[in-house]
A and B are shown apart, each in its own frame.
Chain A
């Protein structure tokens, strides 16, 4: 099934949830509202066979509203197809439901996203920091987090 057909079916089932569909370099990105992300992901897995969650990450669009985007890169091992789902998350009380019930692999990816980007995953079984020390303050991948760390001179930008 082509990516367009999948998007059409997704639109048919979750018409109110789809915010945007973008094609770029042959890749399809579907932006959806975050409220029903677990249902959408379950639907993608069960009805379209996207059985592998390759990657999950957060993106910080500081200055825009909503500020964050959680990105799910999905893969179907049978048809070898990819699709990308994105869900915007607002800055205040940044949270989204966990998809670790849909794909077990999301567990660590979501921990990393919480650790580095500060997005909370509701109902996550084990939401601890994963790469930074447990007592670390702040979320280093946020755009307002200084490159050289919190206690140093702020980064002045590249000379060029």
Chain B
């Protein structure tokens, strides 16, 4: 579309704007309806999580990670505990049941995150019904969260070397029923959106980015897979026993908002499959690794005998001291590659913890996806990138 004048107008979008998904500010330079330049301003939610973590023991950092991507707290927990376990060299000590439950919970988290994404994305570009449907299903996952961890959003469920507690009785059946219902729900959303002509007009060909440009700017996750790059950390650098599961990595080549939508819906179906497989493989067993110097003792022992109480007290107050070294561990979070770079100097708290938040990097691609396009597409592109300001600003 050619601009018809050379006069531009600068407008401000956000930080208080319903379509910016949090406190994102965009300075948009417009020529009529065409965006000439888009400049994102971030940092409104900066809480200094990396600085704080340098002053806490390794166990005390887990609740901080909940507050990164608060729509997918367990993925953040998982990335962090895997990083610490790698730093300690106890990756192979993690019991099988822990691995399975971690997979179940993080795949539920992926569903939870994708449901919020679909709800808000559709709402932003005018399809309100989908929002209500998605939040109905999301509610089931929040209930499961509550039963597992006591919290609906900030779960703090995974521990270094295991889990806070085993799954409560009867929950496996509830998770199974929910996972089995997912394909029908996804079909429902597809029925509302995929063939909908308005939805297609708002998404097909909108916010295109080629594979080369996406890799150069560092975009990862579903947004990269919709540009035709077949890469998923769960399959390609497996962790938590993902190599035991059979699942497909959805890849599409449209590079646009519509294909990113299709990729995420396909991922939801795959996640449901993984959950069912993990439930089939789930066997009774310990939920904590046998590393008494590192792992917190089970809660029921802590309240029942003095040795475990002392043990618990010792680990909570003094922590544990990994040998000096540095590691980088990443997981396939719902939004892309979530990485933790940890440096230990041999003390009880990290010398440096750098978080690689997928949303931070993905948002960097926004200017090149909207410049030269219509103002209305900016809203669609923010939605399709699936950003969460909690992890962008940290």
Q: Residue-by-residue, is B191-227 near A (CB-CB < 8 Å gives 1, otherwise 0)?
A: 0000000000000000000000101111010000000
Contact assessment for B356 and A24 in the assembled complex, using a CB-CB cutoff below 8 Å: no
CA A130 to CA B42, docked complex, whole Å: 6
Query: How near does chain A come to B253, taking the closest CB pair, in angstroms?
Result: 16
Query: How near does chain A come to B221, taking the closest CB pair, in angstroms?
Result: 12
B218 CB contact (under 8 Å) in A52, A116, A130, A131: A52
Query: How near does chain B come to A88, taking the closest CB pair, in angstroms?
Result: 14
Contact assessment for A77 and B215 in the assembled complex, using a CB-CB cutoff below 8 Å: yes
CA A132 to CA B364, docked complex, whole Å: 17
Q: Answer whether A55 and B354 are a contact pair too, CB < 8 Å, given A25-B89, A84-B328, A140-B48.
A: yes
Interfacial chain A residues near B51, Cβ < 8 Å: 140-141, 145, 147
Contact assessment for A77 and B327 in the assembled complex, using a CB-CB cutoff below 8 Å: no
Q: Answer whether A108 and B364 are a contact pair too, CB < 8 Å, given A59-B352, A77-B229, A130-B43.
A: yes
Q: Answer whether A160 and B364 are a contact pair too, CB < 8 Å, given A104-B217, A147-B51.
A: no
Is B361 interfacial (CB 8 A cutoff)?
yes
Give the A interface residue count (CB, 8 A).
37
CA A147 to CA B53, docked complex, whole Å: 10
CA A109 to CA B392, docked complex, whole Å: 11
Contact residues, B210-248 vs A (CB, 8 A): 213, 215-218, 220, 229, 231, 236-237
Is A27 interfacial (CB 8 A cutoff)?
yes
Q: Answer whether A53 and B218 are a contact pair too, CB < 8 Å, given A25-B89, A108-B361, A140-B48.
A: yes
Contact assessment for B364 and A55 in the assembled complex, using a CB-CB cutoff below 8 Å: no
Q: Which residue of A lies closest to B323 (CB)?
A: A24
Contact assessment for B328 and A27 in the assembled complex, using a CB-CB cutoff below 8 Å: yes
CA A158 to CA B374, docked complex, whole Å: 53
Contact assessment for B343 and A59 in the assembled complex, using a CB-CB cutoff below 8 Å: yes
Contact assessment for A103 and B326 in the assembled complex, using a CB-CB cutoff below 8 Å: no
Interfacial chain B residues near A54, Cβ < 8 Å: 218, 328, 330, 337, 339, 356
Contact assessment for B215 and A52 in the assembled complex, using a CB-CB cutoff below 8 Å: yes
CA A88 to CA B341, docked complex, whole Å: 17
Q: What are 22 sample pairs from A and B whose C-beta atoms fall under 8 A apart?
A: A24-B327, A25-B325, A54-B337, A54-B339, A55-B339, A57-B341, A57-B352, A57-B354, A73-B328, A73-B339, A77-B215, A82-B328, A84-B326, A104-B216, A105-B218, A108-B361, A108-B364, A109-B361, A131-B46, A131-B394, A140-B48, A155-B55
